[in-house]
A and B are shown apart, each in its own frame.
Chain A
Amino acid sequence: AQSVAQPEDQVNVAEGNPLTVKCTYSVSGNPYLFWYVQYPNRGLQFLLKYITGDNLVKGSYGFEAEFNKSQTSFHLKKPSALVSDSALYFCAVRSSGTYKYIFGTGTRLKVLA
């Protein structure tokens, strides 16, 4: 069965510092991994995805994520956090040949000025 875990309910980071939001997954077959961001009272917005190839993928707003097959992880990163990055972040996984997306429970990122 597919599953995805976001072990941290909340991450606090000072503005200008690097940030990491963690995600681990479990699938049978090749994983397709996604990060979405949700701002207050708005729907989810796509940030980036890993399909195949380079383990480091770059996305919107300066975010990037690193796929690590041996650790079954897909952590979201940004070199320098902005206060405007404060939001709810969701990791999602889908395995090749299946229809269903599985979303994590979300991690609230709070960037402090």
Chain B
Amino acid sequence: EAGVAQSPRYKIIEKRQSVAFWCNPISGHATLYWYQQILGQGPKLLIQFQNNGVVDDSQLPKDRFSAERLKGVDSTLKIQPAKLEDSAVYLCASSLGDYSYNEQFFGPGTRLTVL
């Protein structure tokens, strides 16, 4: 079974530039999550999709971050414009359904450095 795919793996940009990350979840997984993991901290949920609808985006900085999930499969996360504090690893995860007890499967992450 193929895992969660993310690209790119690494990205370096200057502040005020824009950047986009892509995620392809495990086939058949209805729920998709985007997390931000700053060095030394645990992952923080940015947005959660159930199929192509947003379930929770309460911690997404909506003035600069946006995300979409096309046709309930792939997803993109965009930052525009980037700030220095956005430097982090962005993790995508998926799970079978939205049941509270489903474990999540994580991709390798995208390490973003904002200069």
Q: Is chain B's binding surface mostly helix, strand, loop or mixed? A: loop
* Cα distance, A32 to B48, chains bound together (Å): 18
B91 at the interface (CB under 8 A from A): yes
Contact A99 B106 (CB under 8 A): no
Within residues 99 to 113 of chain B, which ones have a CB less than 8 A from any CB in chain A?
A: 100-101, 103-109
Residues 48-82 of B, flagged 1 when their CB comes within 8 A of A and 0 if not, give 10000001100000000000000000000000000
* Cα distance, A41 to B91, chains bound together (Å): 12
Number of interface residues of B (CB under 8 A): 23
* Cα distance, A96 to B99, chains bound together (Å): 9
Chain A interface residues (CB < 8 Å from chain B): 32, 34, 36, 41-46, 49, 51, 90, 94-101, 103-106
What are 27 pairs between A and B in contact, CB < 8 Å? A36-B106, A42-B109, A43-B91, A43-B106, A43-B107, A44-B43, A44-B91, A44-B106, A46-B104, A46-B105, A49-B101, A49-B103, A90-B42, A90-B43, A94-B101, A95-B100, A97-B100, A99-B48, A99-B56, A99-B100, A100-B48, A100-B56, A101-B45, A101-B104, A103-B42, A104-B42, A106-B41
